Chains A and B, each alone.
Chain A
Amino acid sequence: MLELRQATYRYAGYARPVVHEVDLRVDDGEIVGLVGANDSGKSTLCLVASGLAPASIGGELKGTLTLDRTPAAGLRTYQLAERVVIGFQNPNTQRSGIAATVFEEIALGPINLGLSVTETVARTREAIARLRLEPIVQQDPQRLSGGQSQLVAIASLLAMRPRHVILDEPTAQLDPAGTQLVGEALHALAAAGTSLLVAEHKTDLLEGLCDRVVALDAGRIVLDGPAGRVLGDPGLVALGVEPPSHVRLGRSAAAAGVDRARIDVALQ
């Protein structure tokens, strides 16, 4: 379980916090979606939940982060890496630059954890299978398309078999097929007991993926509940978040005076 209690975080060198008094809990096997406008503090919240803020980037955190009942405060970054991983939007910055093939790139995390060769290979193969990367395992990671790079970046994190996974807009660069692949892999992870926090704009994706959704506005959580309820909340639009397609359509139809019953069936 990953839990933030009254988390308020201020970047080093900045006067004001970006995240305010956040209470957030992700249980084992739960997938929680995080939505909000681009300046709402989503990315910062992801960094705080990963422990990297402040363990790596400094700054001031008030409140607590607890990972499986262990306080994150005082953990070194490589100790955090044994428990929680975070993926970012830009696949280029997540590439190590030192692997000659996709297989080696994905294997780097387990290798860094000091695992045996057998264990490393097993975990690497598992991550490759999860994201169906078999066709490109021998390719040079520098020569992949943006979408492929992102899938490799995610696989590289999954190979570490973290208990907690945080992803900041993982499908930003992916086409619909890639988006679906990632969604399926995350489902499988949750089924295996991993807790997941996924920040995204694609509310259609989140609806199919998440148990719960949390909405952020100016660094504060303003909505927290079951995915269907939060994503259907009329207040979402004012927060700068696009509701799922069927919610939009349903509202437009209703606004035009169309009987909801006629389309609700088709919107399943």
Chain B
Amino acid sequence: MIEIEELVHVYSGETRAVNGVSLSIGAGEAIAVVGQNGSGKSTLVRHLNGLLRPTEGRVAIDGLDAAGRRVAQLAGIVGLAFQDPDRQIFAGSVRAEAAFGPRNLGWRRDAVDAAVAEALTAVGLAGEAETNPYDLGYSSRKLLALASVLAMRTAVVVLDEPTTGQDARGVARLEAIVRSLREAGRTVIAISHDMRFVAESFERVVVMRLGRIVADGSPAEVFAERGWPVLRSTNLEPPLAAVVGARLSLGSTPTEASLVAALVAGQPGGRTGGGGR
């Protein structure tokens, strides 16, 4: 679905924010991109919808080179939900805001309405359709920004720090949204600092440091004890479930469920663990 080949991105002639990344993402995969601030995560994903163009290397979306397509065209295939909702919300109602994306894609009225209704339900804002977004709290506005991207029904959905600033209910809703996107066969890519969210919701974890990929595998592989030095090199800590599993010699148990399963089985193992279903 997405092929990134030897990507290099240099900002203003100096910083090599992405320094030689090659990555292949299949349709329907759920991938988390992690790494300390400045590791190149945001820069990398902005190449997927053409907001940034490679300094060197190539990005292909659905078989075609992204270089030849405008952002407005790529936006119909790759949806990118930004961190700060207040840097995009402009409409007077939740409904109108969520409709912005599908309308830009040129859909007919009934298709737009259906997509908006579905997206607002998914984020729990269906009851606030006529509310002014600024009468909602910050985390609701963040969910609205996400809904406006979900409504575009793109094959690929990219989430930039979706759980930041969310309380427990907000995080639970995010997890449910990722689950339903996966069930619908869409490709999900998320940048996150929350290792628990990453381990529980994604089947593949890509770890970045200084513009390069330093680890790429399932949560069970990346969060296994032998992978901890790599995580720590980019200022990350494994989720607690993985730490407990390692201390009790239960093998790699990146998620709560895998840890509990290993404990119940009463023996070392913990084979799977990647990405809840």
Contacts and interface: CB of A to CB of B under 8 A. Distances in A.
Chain A–chain B contact at Cβ < 8 A: yes
Interface of A: 36-39, 89, 145-148, 169, 172-178, 201, 237, 240-242, 245-246, 248-249, 252-253, 256-258, 262-263, 265-267
Contacts of A256: 260, 263-264
Interface in B219-253: 235-237, 239-241, 243-244, 247-248
Nearest to B170: A38
Contacts of B169: 37, 240
B258 to A, nearest CB: 11
B104 to A, nearest CB: 27
Given A240-B169, A266-B248, A245 B260 contact: no
A245 B244 CA distance: 11
12 contacts: A37-B169, A38-B166, A176-B235, A176-B236, A241-B167, A242-B171, A245-B239, A256-B264, A262-B248, A262-B263, A265-B247, A267-B244
B263 A146 contact: no
Q: Is the interface of A mostly helix, strand, loop or mixed?
A: loop
B118 to A, nearest CB: 24
Contacts of A39: 137
A190 to B, nearest CB: 24
B37 A248 contact: no
Contacts of A257: 264
A257 B264 CA distance: 8
Nearest to A268: B247
Q: Is the interface of B mostly helix, strand, loop or mixed?
A: helix
B263 A178 contact: no
A37 B167 CA distance: 6
A263 B235 contact: no
- From B36, B137, B193, name the one whose CB has the most chain A CB atoms within 10 angstroms: B193
B38 interface: yes
A136 to B, nearest CB: 12
Interface in B182-201: 193, 196
B138 interface: yes
B244 A258 contact: no
A206 B155 CA distance: 39
B138 A38 contact: yes
A176 B237 contact: yes
Contacts of B157: none
A216 B243 CA distance: 31
B167 A240 contact: yes
B235 A177 contact: yes
Interface in B4-56: 36-38
B240 A249 contact: yes
A246 B240 contact: yes
Contacts of B263: 253, 256, 258, 262-263
A211 to B, nearest CB: 23
Contact of A175 (B37, B167, B240, B241): B37
A172 B248 contact: no
Contacts of B37: 145-148, 174-175, 178
B240 A38 contact: no
A249 B235 contact: no
A99 B92 CA distance: 36
A168 to B, nearest CB: 11
B260 A258 contact: yes
Contacts of B256: 248-249, 252
Given A240-B168, A245-B196, A258-B260, A266 B247 contact: yes
B165 interface: yes
A63 B207 CA distance: 51
A262 B249 CA distance: 12
Contacts of A37: 167-169
Given A175-B37, A249-B240, 7 more contacts: A145-B37, A147-B37, A176-B236, A177-B235, A201-B168, A240-B168, A258-B264
Contact of B165 (A145, A169, A246, A249): A169
Given A145-B37, A263-B244, A252 B168 contact: no
Contacts of B244: 249, 263, 266-267
